[in-house]
């Protein structure tokens, strides 16, 4: 179970259950305690009541007797042996009126004169009855003889004895009273009085009667101590203090009753409390969940790129810093710099929504290949990847895979778009300096690009060596420009696509290094830009081009100018001055914006271009479709021509690349721009380009760039041929 689910479960069920259980448990505990206390008090009361009832029974039995024993008629009739009278007044009457179970009248010698038993079917052995009353009768006779009157008063008219006795096996209250004169007119010898015995059994109808009178449930006599948790009992003691037996009953427990009655209510309260707290817990969980989610979203937004969902530059920097500084000594790191090739062309040709979708797809491919790595988008089409320790060992293979994957065409809408990528990788082990690792990866990327793009390079010590060489080269370039001898201008002819006539020349700078030989402008132009010498080179080429233009008025020449040069405040004046100096019409000069330097989209460049265009100078966007040349520039800056980069011409045999080229032509046509293809190397390319309606073609197939003397010779030859043709024409 996930932590999230667990905490939801806890908040929704466990906490409410615990809280409800606690509250209801405490309530129940209090109730149980109170009920227990109530039942205890009730039990003591009930026991006292039973004890009191028994003693009242004893007294009551004696009292009943006196209604007939303290009576002159009774003395007389017992003395005369009138059993009929005795039966009527001292026997059955006692039963019918008071409910006594047995009655006897004893003679002076304590032998029974008369005996009555209420239950006709019950016949105790004579000795059983005798054993029950004899000790009491003997004691009474002794007390009578002694003249003892203790216990007599207004209500108790004669002394008596009573006790709890067994008649055979039956427990009973037995009471004896003397039969005495009520008027005092009959003389009697103390101790010689007849004696009346009354018996009330405790195991017959008496307990139910007491039970119903005092609300004791199932009151019964028991000879042995009752067992059972739901029974209350009280011992009955005879006069000698011995336990005679027990009265037991089902106790009335008001507390327990209250508890039983409140149990459903308590259960209801538990359910209500549980549902309430569970709902509250659920609401609380959802709220905190929402809070946590939005907090996480905010955090994610702050540290991630919206388009790709990858980390952003700041987040990547933080993570890189953190991981490199905390790394174990033997931990491997590898940092990759990835740069998408030709992405700008896609953006400008198909529009930003397609570009965005493509970036998203490229990011997804990288993520799929490196699911564990930290990947960031740090610029429009630039990515950085920090491989985790395991992948770092396979950096070379992974970089190669990355290049291959990104080379596979992307399907965006109906189009198949091919881009590509250059990858630079740098390794480190243990705690290392992030800035140094970034620098190394950047150098490696530079090498990958220099090696022709669509490839990868791993940083090595030799690259630093390359850097060192570059510094030397910078110094050499400085001194070359001071001397002015090593730099030359070559010219490459450009031909009309349809008829194949030479229509213009492109001036290309060359550096003839005294030790190295010819160095490509692709190498020394960026160097010159970096060290601020580009204007000097530009001036040199411009000067040479003007000289050539002056020599051959029938052609136009294109010069290359980096954005950096164009943005310099004195540039338009410099160009116009050179043109004026050589008396050349500005429309014969075309300036190709090579865009090899990063352009700030400052207004200076636009002002320069519009000023020169007003004067008649033509403008072209060079290397169209790569790097910084872009459709957006075409939209913003008015130009006259676009030159499609060689890489597109190379790839034109592929359907997806051809689609891009066709889109470029359509765009150029729509804008009324002239269009030139660069780097035409094969006749196939030439015929395809022709069929597509191209204006002009340039490439090794038609002519290589050549030094000034060679191009002068060529021009003179062409001039000669055309004048020959003109000379032939009239006669034909
Ligand atoms: P670019 O302006 O695109 O010039 C065309 C480049 O393609 C030239 O390389 C040319 O020799 C080469 N090229 C022409 N046709 C073919 C072909 O069929 N196959 C192949 N493989 N290459 C062909 P180059 O002269 O080495 O110039 C390289 C780049 O240096 C130029 O590219 C331009 O961007 C820059 N550059 C040259 N001269 C100057 C300059 O005076 N000023 C500035 N700012 N940049 C210059
Ligand atoms: Ca060019
Ligand atoms: Ca070019």
DSSP of 8-48: HHIIIIIHHHHHHHHHHHHHHHHHHHHHHHHHHHHHHHHHH
The ligand 1 atom nearest the CA atom of 596: 34
pLDDT digits (tens, 9 = 90+) for 147-186: 999 989 888 899 999 999 999 999 999 999 999 999 989 9
Q: Which residue stretches of the chain have pLDDT < 50? A: 596-601, 628-629, 731-732
Ion ligand 3 neighbours (CB, 5 A) are: 622-623, 678
Q: Residue with structure tokens 């992307």? A: 410
**97, HSE (Cβ side, Cα atoms, 13 Å):** 16
CA 19 to centroid of ligand 1, rounded, Å: 82
- CB of 700 within 6 A of ligand 1: the answer is yes
Give the separation between CA 419 and CA 359, rounded to whole angstroms: 11
Give the separation between CA 356 and CA 341, rounded to whole angstroms: 15
- CB of 541 within 6 A of ligand 1: the answer is yes
The ligand 1 atom nearest the CA atom of 561: 44
Q: Residue with structure tokens 């101790």? A: 191
- Looking at residue 600, what is its pLDDT? 42
Give the angle subtended at the CA of 597 by the CAs of 593 and 599, to the nearest 5°: 80
Q: How many helices (H) does the chain have, and how many strands (E)?
A: 25, 25
Report which of 59, 268, 348 is spatially closest to residue 175, judged by C-alpha positions.
59
Mutate which of 494, 506, 507, 508 to test ligand 1's pocket (most atoms within 8 Å of Cβ)?
A: 508
pLDDT digits (tens, 9 = 90+) for 436-448: 999 999 999 988 9
Report which of 689, 683, 702, 601 is spatially closest to residue 649, judged by C-alpha positions.
689
Report which of 570, 573, 548 is spatially closest to residue 558, judged by C-alpha positions.
548
Give the angle subtended at the CA of 400 by the CAs of 398 and 403, to the nearest 5°: 110
417, with CB counted inside 10 A (0-12, 13-18, 19+), is buried
Residue 725 is encoded by which pair of tokens? 């043709």
CA 638 to centroid of ligand 2, rounded, Å: 18
The secondary structure of 256-325 as a DSSP string is HHHHHHHHHHHHHHHHHHHHHHHHHHHHHHHHHHHHHHHHHHHHHHHHB-TTT-SB-HHHHHHHHHHHHH
Supply the pTM of this predicted model.
Answer: 0.49
What is the number of residues in the chain?
Answer: 732
- Looking at residue 597, what is its pLDDT? 39
- Looking at residue 461, what is its pLDDT? 84
Give the separation between CA 34 and CA 573, rounded to whole angstroms: 109
- CB of 685 within 6 A of ligand 1: the answer is no
- CB of 420 within 6 A of ligand 1: the answer is no
Provide the greatest CA pair distance for the chain. 203
Report which of 532, 547, 568 is spatially closest to residue 488, judged by C-alpha positions.
547
Q: Give the ligand with the smallest distance to the CA of 564.
A: 1
The residue nearest atom 20 of ligand 1, judged by CA position, is 679
The ligand 1 atom nearest the CA atom of 490: 25
Q: Give the ligand with the smallest distance to the CA of 592.
A: 2
**Can you point out the beta strands (E) in 329-406?**
332-341, 374-377, 382-387
The ligand 1 atom nearest the CA atom of 645: 3
Mutate which of 521, 530, 537, 629 to test ligand 1's pocket (most atoms within 8 Å of Cβ)?
A: 521
Q: For the CA atoms of the chain, what is the radius of gyration?
A: 64
- Looking at residue 598, what is its pLDDT? 36
- Looking at residue 631, what is its pLDDT? 56
- CB of 594 within 6 A of ligand 1: the answer is yes
Ion ligand 2 neighbours (CB, 5 A) are: 560, 592, 622
- Looking at residue 539, what is its pLDDT? 95
- Looking at residue 341, what is its pLDDT? 83
For β-strands 420-429 and 332-341, DSSP reports them as antiparallel
The residue nearest atom 24 of ligand 1, judged by CA position, is 521
Give the separation between CA 73 and CA 711, rounded to whole angstroms: 179
**Sign of the torsion formed by the C-alpha atoms of 352, 353, 357 and 360:** positive
Q: For 20-37, b where at least 16 C-beta lie within 10 A, e where not — what string?
A: beeebeeebeebeeebee
- CB of 494 within 6 A of ligand 1: the answer is no
Give the separation between CA 385 and CA 373, rounded to whole angstroms: 7
The ligand 1 atom nearest the CA atom of 540: 41
- CB of 492 within 6 A of ligand 1: the answer is yes
Q: Give the ligand with the smallest distance to the CA of 518.
A: 1
- CB of 161 within 6 A of ligand 1: the answer is no
């Amino acid at each position: 179970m996930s932590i999230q689910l667990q905490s939801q479960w806890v908040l929704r069920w466990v906490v409410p259950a615990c809280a409800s259980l606690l509250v209801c448990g405490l309530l129940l505990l209090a109730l149980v305690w109170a009920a227990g206390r109530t039942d205890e008090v009730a039990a003591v009361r009930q026991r006292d009541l039973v004890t009191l009832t028994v003693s009242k029974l004893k007294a009551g039995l004696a009292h009943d007797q006196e209604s007939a024993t303290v009576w002159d008629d009774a003395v007389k009739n017992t003395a005369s042996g009138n059993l009929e009278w005795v039966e009527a007044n001292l026997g059955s009457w006692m039963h019918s009126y008071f409910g006594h179970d047995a009655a006897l009248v004893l003679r002076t010698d304590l032998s029974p004169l008369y005996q009555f038993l209420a239950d006709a079917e019950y016949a105790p052995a004579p000795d059983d009855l005798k054993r029950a009353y004899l000790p009491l009768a003997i004691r009474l006779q002794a007390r009578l003889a002694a003249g003892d009157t203790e216990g007599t008063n207004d209500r108790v008219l004669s002394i008596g004895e009573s006790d709890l006795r067994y008649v055979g096996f039956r427990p009973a209250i037995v009471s004896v009273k003397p039969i005495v004169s009520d008027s005092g007119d009959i003389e009697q010898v103390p101790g010689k009085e007849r004696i009346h015995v009354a018996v009330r059994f405790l195991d017959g109808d008496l307990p139910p009667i007491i039970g119903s009178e005092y609300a004791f449930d199932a009151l019964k006599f028991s000879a042995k101590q009752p067992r059972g948790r739901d029974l209350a009992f009280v011992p009955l003691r005879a006069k000698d203090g011995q336990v005679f037996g027990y009265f037991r009953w089902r106790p009335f427990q008001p507390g327990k009753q209250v508890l039983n009655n409140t149990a459903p209510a308590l259960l209801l309260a538990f359910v209500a409390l549980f549902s309430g707290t569970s709902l509250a817990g659920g609401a609380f969980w959802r709220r905190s969940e929402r809070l946590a989610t939005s907090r996480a979203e905010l955090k994610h937004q702050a540290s991630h790129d919206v388009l790709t969902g990858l980390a952003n530059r700041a987040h990547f920097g933080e993570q890189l810093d953190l991981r490199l500084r905390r790394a174990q000594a033997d931990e491997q790191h590898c940092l990759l710099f990835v740069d998408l090739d030709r992405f700008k062309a896609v953006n400008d040709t198909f529009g930003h929504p397609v570009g965005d979708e493509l970036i998203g797809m490229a990011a997804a491919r990288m993520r799929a290949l490196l699911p564990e790595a930290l990947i960031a988008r740090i610029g429009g089409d630039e990515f950085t990847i920090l491989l985790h320790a395991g992948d770092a060992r396979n950096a070379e293979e992974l970089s190669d895979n990355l290049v291959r994957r990104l080379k596979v065409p992307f399907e965006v809408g109906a189009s198949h778009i091919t881009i590509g990528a250059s990858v630079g990788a740098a390794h480190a082990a243990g705690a290392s300096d992030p800035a140094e690792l970034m620098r190394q990866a950047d150098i490696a990327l530079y090498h990958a690009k220099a090696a022709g793009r669509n490839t990868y390079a791993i940083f090595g010590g030799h690259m630093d060596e390359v850097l060192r060489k570059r510094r030397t080269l910078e110094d050499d370039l400085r001194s070359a420009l001071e001397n002015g001898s090593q730099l030359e201008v070559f010219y490459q002819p450009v031909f009309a696509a349809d008829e194949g006539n030479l229509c213009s020349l492109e001036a290309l700078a060359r550096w003839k290094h005294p030790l190295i030989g010819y160095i490509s402008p692709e190498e020394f132009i960026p160097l010159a830009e970096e060290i601020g010498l580009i204007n000097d080179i530009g001036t040199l080429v411009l000067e040479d081009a003007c000289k050539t233009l002056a020599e051959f008025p029938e052609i136009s020449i294109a010069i290359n100018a980096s954005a950096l040069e164009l943005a310099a405040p004195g540039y338009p004046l410099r160009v116009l001055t050179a043109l004026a100096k050589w008396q050349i019409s500005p429309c014969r000069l075309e300036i190709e914006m090579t865009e090899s330097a990063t352009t700030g989209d400052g207004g200076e460049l636009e002002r320069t271009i519009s000023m020169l265009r007003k004067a008649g100078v033509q403008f072209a966007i060079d290397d169209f479709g790569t790097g910084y040349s872009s459709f957006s520039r075409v939209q913003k800056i008015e130009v006259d021509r676009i030159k499609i980069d060689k890489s597109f011409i190379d790839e034109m045999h592929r359907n997806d690349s051809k689609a891009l080229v066709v889109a470029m032509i359509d765009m150029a046509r729509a804008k009324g721009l002239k269009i030139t293809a660069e780097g035409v190397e094969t006749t196939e390319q030439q015929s395809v380009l022709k069929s597509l309606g191209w204006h002009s073609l340039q490439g090794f197939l038609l002519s290589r760039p050549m030094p000034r003397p060679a191009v002068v010779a060529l021009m003179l030859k062409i001039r000669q041929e055309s004048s020959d043709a003109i000379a032939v024409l009239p006669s034909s």
